[in-house]
A and B are shown apart, each in its own frame.
Chain A
């Protein structure tokens, strides 16, 4: 037994150094040198301030922005650390709702969202992505249909033409990867940043 213990101990230690230190540090070194932007989280800066990551959705509630999908992420309750409270798009605690298809809580949540959205854009069926929580709670994307649905609200809040917004959404839409993988997406943060830029350009042109 003791003779068997030596390889067990030595190989555990040696392979830990190889796979647990050398391997991740080598990847980190090369990644930081060759792909520094991606390796550090694909962060987006505006006027020197980090406004978010291109890959991570963020909570936006104002009517003048395109809003992301519902998010089921939570955070510790500031009043009582043993409990959690809803904290949409908490990028340090990713999670989905984990509600099953026959859960009353799910259908009630969807119903409330549908009613709000129908009031905003009556007569149009609500795209399912806008009332369902994503798996990570950090989904950075909308489907083109879910972005289009919000155009009337954003146009009204910003005093812009729906046509201009439609063009913006189309320009921000990314096709399927390699033409057939996954689904077409609209990155919400990119769309909203473009929206802000457009408003800024307009003000500058008006001056």
Chain B
């Protein structure tokens, strides 16, 4: 570990905190119907869209109707994306003549992109033509992110309102999020990336003659436009197979910093939006602080682990000073790679600038732990905030049990219905993560896909299902996921991980909105101070630890012990 490495990490954290408030304020204006700098330009577009779509913009929805709209919209997106992949050979804008995508892979990819997961069982540059990349995958990068943010805002309205029947209008939230927040930010961001070296062309590939006279075919495409929303929308699906490790996606250490910031930017801003909308910004800072504590712990372990030399290399006479460089890029080095891995899994991004499969056992465990906790450390845009608020409900429920009072959060009584719904949402993740892993490791069809033997092979399967259910999309990429078994089971994991959380969460939003807000009294538990942050972090670690420690012991922990003992597989 170097001083310079720690400086990079600290500067990153400082910048995230600095971004939270301005972005939170901006998004609050967007979702409370206020004007933004682009309103003169966008308001007519918005009105035209609503007229065309038959949306009554000032009519709000009951939570059931809001949920139906969100589900229906996701279903239409899913079917459209599936159809486009299945037909890409006959559709235009396919200069490399990519073939139709097989059914199981197309299903997996369609689910993956509409659930904001972006798990990729294919190599982008060798499977998808420009039309699918642009009008299929890039579009879902925007829309699945906008859906996530809309849902989080709906939950926040549940806390903020008193005796209300409705929690907002899904179509308006979706449209305003896309037009006012995502598209403008991405336009600027994409051009910054091009300036720094990210290609943006409709041409397919270029042949170069290398110094030694060989031909090198260099894949190109509209990379920057996808890259921008891939990060900002915490999607993570790369244009290229190697994702943000590819020099065309992430050409230098500066773009790397900006990419990491853009993963966290909107998620951090949403905590501030939460504070503003419930009328007390400190509530948002408390949530961000709890996320920060978990983040610093994770990045410290990951950086420490990756800065170690592989003991097997040291024995061969390799200078290990630079740390574990297998699967890492020279321009990023150890600190920026460990930081990126922690950021991308803390949020539900899943973009990678280094191959997590080649991380040290404990270094690779941190991304897994981040996802197992439900990606509540900043988290996916929207999903992170509603995930964290669900944990806050559990924490306050436990606190309520300890003192024997009905728990309340922000003046709302948390009763049987809210706690049951929260448990439903929180429990569906481990069922998908651990259940499918357990089945995969006893089936030949599951183990045949593993690239590594021993405990690392187990980690590959575990990582895959954890990543799918958490809607992350990063991988221990040695696992050959493009098989019927993995395409289908990972697809189911992604669907459950997204929608079995969303529906109970919206039910909570509806139920909270209908309650009155009791003013704070001397007996209410303050939710803006250190005690609450500590309680929340403690509950997250206890719930996560109890659920996942046995699985982690079988994978990364036993591999670490084997590595220390000099065992190879």
Contact = CB atoms under 8 A, between A and B. Distances in A.
A172 interface: no
B161 to A, nearest CB: 23
B201 A41 contact: yes
Interface stretch (B272-280, B316-324, B409-417, B430-438): B316-324
A128 B310 CA distance: 10
Given A16-B135, A27-B200, A141-B330, A50 B568 contact: no
Contacts of B364: 100
B344 to A, nearest CB: 13
Interface string A68-89: 0100000000000000000001
B313 A177 contact: no
B178 interface: yes
B152 interface: no
Contacts of A43: 206, 208, 218
Interface residues of A, number: 104
B452 A12 contact: no
Interface stretch (A129-137, A154-162, A163-171, A198-206): A129-137
A185 to B, nearest CB: 5
Interface in B216-269: 216-220, 222, 224-226, 229, 240-242, 245-248, 251-254, 256-257
A18 B183 contact: yes
Contacts of A145: 319, 322
B143 interface: yes
Interface string B332-348: 11001100000000000
B309 to A, nearest CB: 7
Nearest to B253: A182
Contact of B563 (A11, A28, A102, A142): A102
A53 B201 CA distance: 15
A24 B253 contact: no
B360 interface: yes
Nearest to B169: A7
Interface residues of B, number: 131
Given A137-B242, A183-B333, A101 B54 contact: no
Question: Which secondary structure dominates where chain A touches chain B?
Answer: mixed
A177 B49 contact: no
A7 B171 contact: yes
Contact of B330 (A7, A61, A107, A139): A139
B142 interface: yes
A170 to B, nearest CB: 17
B104 interface: no
B54 A136 contact: no
A100 to B, nearest CB: 4
Interface string B23-44: 0000000000000000000000
Contact of A142 (B75, B183, B219, B330): B330
Nearest to A189: B211
A178 B254 contact: yes
Interface in B436-492: 451-456, 459, 476-478
Contact of B332 (A41, A65, A182): A182
B126 A93 contact: yes
Contacts of B138: 19-20, 23-24
B72 interface: yes
Interface string A101-113: 1111011001100
Contacts of A1: 68, 72
Given A100-B459, A100-B478, A143-B330, A15 B225 contact: no
Contacts of B248: 41, 55-56
Contacts of B240: 94, 136
B529 interface: no
Interface stretch (B189-197, B294-302, B380-388, B512-520): B189-197
Interface in A116-131: 118, 125-129, 131
Contacts of B91: none
B134 A102 contact: no
Contacts of A177: 252-254, 257
Interface in A22-52: 23-24, 26-28, 30-32, 34-35, 38-43, 49-52
Contact of A135 (B72, B142, B245, B459): B245
Given A19-B139, A53-B208, A59-B214, A27 B187 contact: yes
Interface string A162-198: 0000000000000011101111010001001100100
10 nearest CB pairs, A to B: A182-B253, A98-B478, A135-B245, A20-B135, A183-B333, A94-B242, A100-B456, A125-B319, A181-B253, A96-B355
Given A11-B174, A97-B326, 5 more contacts: A27-B222, A40-B206, A128-B322, A143-B330, A145-B322
Interface of A: 1, 3-12, 14-16, 18-21, 23-24, 26-28, 30-32, 34-35, 38-43, 49-62, 65, 69, 89-104, 106-107, 110-111, 114, 118, 125-129, 131-143, 145-146, 176-178, 180-183, 185, 189, 192-193, 196
15 contacts: A31-B190, A31-B194, A42-B251, A55-B247, A59-B212, A60-B210, A100-B364, A101-B359, A103-B456, A103-B569, A104-B453, A107-B313, A114-B317, A126-B319, A137-B242
